[in-house]
Amino acid sequence: MRSCPETMAGIEDITRIYDFEPSELSHATCSPIVGLSVILRRYLVPVHTRRLEFEGVENFRDLGGYPTADGGHTVWGQIFRSDSLHKLTPSDLVAFERMGVRIVYDLRGDEERATHPNPFDSIQLAVVGQPRNGDRRTIDVAAFSAASDGEQLLRDLYIGMLLHSAPLFGVLLTGFVEPTNRPAVFHCHAGKDRTGIAAALLLLAVGVDRETILDDYELTRRYRTPDHQQDSLANLLALGMSPEAAVGVMTAPRWAMQDALDAIDSDFGGIDAYLTGPAGMTPSSLRELRASFVTKAAG
């Protein structure tokens, strides 16, 4: 049995990892962009996919298969990121049950959870988006008129999350350490901002390079189309934000997440110092996370 190496998988939705018997193969090539391009005499069976397709949830993604600095890759099928799970349909719930998920971490606040509760028990870690030097209630969103204003707000909120919600991120990543707690899912509303920062911290912690982390962040732009964001748009407009600025908030600007990653170095001294400092992880927990979520085994 041979397989296309997972370290070549890339991040596109079309990426698939396939196993095949040599006798069934007529031609196969591996690409870091599209994964495996193959023509077989018979058929292939997909083993892993970046995005898991549900009827009601658009942004449910596997964080496995990403190359790490030590030559390994993150483990498939163990840690997933998602948008709000209250939209799972009855058939989705059957598929979700089959995944064997053991813990769900809900990064939403009390009001969001009360309005749209999860259809199963979850652990709440209410990550609040607020600027670094101020209260979110003082933000005059009516003053934002352009898409760039919305993107700038995201950038400020991302850096603010790193500061104000560090202990919650530490609890989350510590929860991932024990393999018996996985598969695990963490999510917020859109699976973009609070979930995006959490995913970036996890991937950075285990040695995934920054460009790959930014690529993963930008996948939300592919999966959360305007048709999927009408509720978010309505909420922003109700706050007095202009439609143009709201569009900026709902996108996934690479530069905003890049600034957040840069702040981990400039403001906190790097990912290890951040996680074992304000986030409250122990050095041993961080080592265990890397050991359990990174493998050098192929396939």
pLDDT digits (tens, 9 = 90+) for 158-210: 999 999 999 999 999 999 999 899 999 999 999 999 999 999 999 999 999 99
How many domains in the chain? 2
Q: What is the mean pLDDT of residues 46-52?
A: 84
Residue 273 lies in a domain: yes
| HEC letters along the chain | CEECCHHHCCCCCCCEEEEECHHHEEEEEEECCCEEEEEECCCCEEEEECECCCCCCCCCEECCCCECCCCCEECCCCEEEECCHHHCCHHHHHHHHHHCCCEEEECCCHHHHHHCCCCCCCEECCCCCCCCCCCHHHCCHHHCCCHHHHHHHHHHHHHHHHHHCHHHHHHHHHHCCCHHHCCEEEECCCCCCHHHHHHHHHHHHCCCCHHHHHHHHHHHHHHCCHHHCHHHHHHHHHCCCCHHHHHHHHCCCHHHHHHHHHHHHHHHCCHHHHHHCCCCCCHHHHHHHHHHHEECCCC
- For residues 72 and 120, membership in a common domain is answered with yes
Of 43-47, 241-245, 252-256, where does the model show the most confidence? Answer: 252-256
Residue 3 has pLDDT above 60, yes or no: no
Q: Are residues 56 and 45 in the same domain?
A: no
Comparing 3-7, 9-13, 112-116, 227-231, which segment has the lowest mean pLDDT? 3-7
10 Å CB burial of residue 43 (0-12, 13-18, 19+) is: exposed
Residues 66 and 210 in one domain: yes
pLDDT at res. 78: 97
End residue of a domain, out of 32, 49, 66? 49
Task: With respect to residue 298, please indicate whether it lies within any of the assigned structural domains.
Answer: no
Strand partners, 61: 51, 81
Residue 187 lies in a domain: yes
Residue 299 inside a domain? The answer is: no
pLDDT reported for residue 211? 98
Q: Are residues 81 and 44 in the same domain?
A: no
Domain assignment present for residue 131? The answer is yes
Are residues 161 and 56 part of one domain? yes
CATH assignment of the domain containing 69: 3.90.190.10
What's the pLDDT band for 48 if we cut at 50, 70, 90?
A: confident
72 and 133 together in one domain: yes
Whether residues 40 and 134 fall in one domain: no
CA angle 194, 199, 201 (to 5 degrees): 100
Asked whether the CA dihedral 13, 259, 263, 59 is positive or negative, the reply is: negative
| Contact present, 286 and 272 (Cβ < 8 Å) | yes
250 assigned to some structural domain: yes
Domain boundary among 15, 31, 49: 49
Q: Which residue has the higher pLDDT, 10 or 272?
A: 272
89 assigned to some structural domain: yes
The pLDDT tens digits of the residues spanning 251-285 come to 899 999 999 999 999 999 999 999 999 999 999 99
Q: Is the peptide bond before 22 cis (omega within 30 degrees of 0)?
A: no
Structural domain of 107: 51-293
Q: Which two tokens stand for residue 132?
A: 């670094």
Q: Please tell me whether residues 13 and 124 are part of one structural domain.
A: no
Confidence of residue 235 (pLDDT cuts 50, 70, 90): confident
The reported pLDDT for the residue numbered 142 is: 72
Tell whether 153 and 250 lie within a shared domain: yes
Q: Are residues 9 and 89 in the same domain?
A: no
Token pair of 232 as six digits: 């978010």
pTM, 2 dp: 0.83
- Choice between 11 and 144, residue whose per-residue pLDDT is larger: 144
d(C-alpha 295, C-alpha 132), whole Å: 36
Please check whether residues 104 and 218 belong to one and the same domain.
yes
- 235 occurs within a structural domain: yes
Give the Cβ contact number of residue 292 at 10 Å: 17
- Are 134 and 233 part of one and the same domain? yes
What residue type is 225 in one-letter code?
T
